[in-house]
Structure 1
Amino acid sequence: MLLLADSGATKTDWYIGNNPTDGLQFQTEGINPFHQSPSIICTILEKQLLPHLPVSPASCHRIFFYGAGCTPAKSLEVARILQIFFTNAQIFVESDLLGAARSACKDHPGIACILGTGSNSCLYDGRQIVRNIPPLGYILGDEGSGAYLGKRFIGDCLKGQLPEKLRDGLLEEYKLTMADILDRVYRQPQANRFLAGFTPYIYRHKEETEVQHFLSDCFREFFLRNILPYESDQPVSFVGSIAWFFRKEIEETARQMNISVGTFVKSPIEGLKVYHF
């Protein structure tokens, strides 16, 4: 039996089965070895993953885990943790970016991007990543991501760059003051998730002229800093919730910049089921 996982900053999508249609799909908390200790990851697996499994862990013979923060060194760490619970399994741990490329592009060359809570991109040859522009996280980079949109939007609201009605509506809906926002961003953990939490509000107001200009600027920054440096004419494909829900705005920005767009996949796990089976 095959177990697949696609793990981002917010959640992990799991799929277990013998084929791509009749298995079981479910979610747990996100697993990121860069931000979480081995003990925390073990707890997530024990408390959230194992109770969902329809069979004994010993029945899993292969595991493909694609995760944020899974650098080569951290991949070994995650594999060792998984082996504790899945003693009979052959385990492969790869980056979430390779998972995105295999999900969106399958075995065709292209540029693959993640636009979710964070963002990333790569040049993919149909099998492996051949070049990656570092995303640098939501403070230094992550352009186009949910955290980036949230950071830019709340900053523009508080600095008067967007209409007062958008600022007041946001503060009222989320029951926040400026002091609350500063505390959550600078003093509390997982500020990226907090900032990405504003994207549903942005989405609901995306037809307003000022928000359209805002989104165009944000996605233009993504293309300028993460796609054009590849100097490739391969189509750009996307996975992730931000790409899925803001597809129209992304496609329009790409058209204005003469960038060819490929496929959009809401959840990488769907494409990975097809790729691996």
Structure 2
Amino acid sequence: MQEILIADSGATKTDWSLTRNGEIIHRFSSKGISPVFQTQEEIAEEIKLHVYPVLKDKNIEAVYFYGTGCIPEKTALVRDAIRQSFPANTIHVYSDLIAAAHSLCGHEAGIACILGTGSNSCQWDGSSIVKQISPLGFILGDEGSGAVLGKHLVGDALKNRLTEGLKEALLDEYSLTPASIIDKVYRQPFPSRFLASLSPFLLKHIDDRSIRRIVTHTFSDFFERNVMQYDYQKNKVNFVGSIAWYFSDPLKEVAAEKGIGIGTITQSPMSGLIDYYRNRE
């Protein structure tokens, strides 16, 4: 029986699913793998030490790896690192945006979006990306993302634009001061992760007018600056990611106001990826 290995990797964690005839037979996680931050040797070592021992007795026919930073110039590097532990007949490496398209749209046309720590989107024709608006990162873009939600939250807090008491509640809950926020955003590494880590506060207080304003504003920006440049009148708009999943109600409300039809919203692409390859077997 054919066994295929599917991986979905972010900067901090990689989810691995070994499937046979479209059914999961083993699922586990390892550290994140990214060719942006790691050399081929480092990726190969991570797989050798923490992935291969789990699967060494398996007969893996194909590996499909999806990851952040897996742009076309980096795919060969990741593929060669995987092949050192898993000399499978087929090894394909794709970006996280392709993961979203395969998972959400499969072989059908549609619009695939990621709303997590960062954001991204594309128009998919069933086999390839036909249009993509660059996400640009949380300073210039990444509308709708956890990082941008957090950026607006701390900005409004420090400029006294939140409902009375919420600024103090935010600082207390996360043990922050105005000085420590400035330090984390402008001087410490991975400011987007810090800002995105504040999104649970927004969710907890989503019924407050000042919080709701932040959330609806950044979702509106995401639709206007990204999705509405695609053929959204003829295609459903689908989402993967923790922000889309947990904030699905306000996301749907903003979409409805703009005449945008929402399709699937899922927290992780893995189940959709398994379906994608099940349908190909």
TM normalised by structure 2 equals 0.92
**CA 1:181–1:89 in 2, change beyond 3 Å: closer, same or farther?**
farther
Instruction: State the match for 2:269 in structure 1.
Output: 268
Distance in 1 (alpha carbons) for counterparts of 2:12 and 2:26:
20
- Contact 2:15–2:30 (Cα < 8 Å) also in 1: yes
Instruction: State the match for 2:239 in structure 1.
Output: 238
Q: Offset of 1:43 from its aligned partner?
A: 4.4
Instruction: State the match for 1:32 in structure 2.
Output: 34
| Cα-Cα RMSD | 1.7
- Contact 1:240–1:266 (Cα < 8 Å) also in 2: yes
- Contact 2:75–2:93 (Cα < 8 Å) also in 1: yes
Which runs of no fewer than 5 residues in structure 2 stay unpaired? none
Instruction: State the match for 1:139 in structure 2.
Output: 139
- Contact 2:232–2:260 (Cα < 8 Å) also in 1: no
**CA 1:152–1:128 in 2, change beyond 3 Å: closer, same or farther?**
same
Q: Offset of 1:17 from its aligned partner?
A: 2.2
Q: Offset of 1:163 from its aligned partner?
A: 2.4
Distance in 2 (alpha carbons) for counterparts of 1:68 and 1:208:
34
Distance in 2 (alpha carbons) for counterparts of 1:152 and 1:130:
32
- Contact 1:75–1:93 (Cα < 8 Å) also in 2: yes
String of CA shifts for 1:62-113, please: whole Å, max 9, x gaps: 1101111111111111111111221234210011111101111121111000
Which runs of no fewer than 5 residues in structure 1 stay unpaired? none
**CA 1:191–1:210 in 2, change beyond 3 Å: closer, same or farther?**
same
- Asked if residue 253 in structure 1 is aligned to residue 254 in structure 2, the reply is yes
- Asked if residue 83 in structure 1 is aligned to residue 83 in structure 2, the reply is yes
**CA 1:144–1:67 in 2, change beyond 3 Å: closer, same or farther?**
same
**CA 1:70–1:224 in 2, change beyond 3 Å: closer, same or farther?**
same
Distance in 2 (alpha carbons) for counterparts of 1:136 and 1:24:
36
**CA 1:259–1:163 in 2, change beyond 3 Å: closer, same or farther?**
same
Instruction: State the match for 1:13 in structure 2.
Output: 15
Q: Offset of 1:171 from its aligned partner?
A: 1.1
Distance in 2 (alpha carbons) for counterparts of 1:19 and 1:170:
48
Structure richer in helix, relative to its length: 1
Instruction: State the match for 2:216 in structure 1.
Output: 216
Count residues in correspondence. 275
- Contact 1:4–1:63 (Cα < 8 Å) also in 2: yes
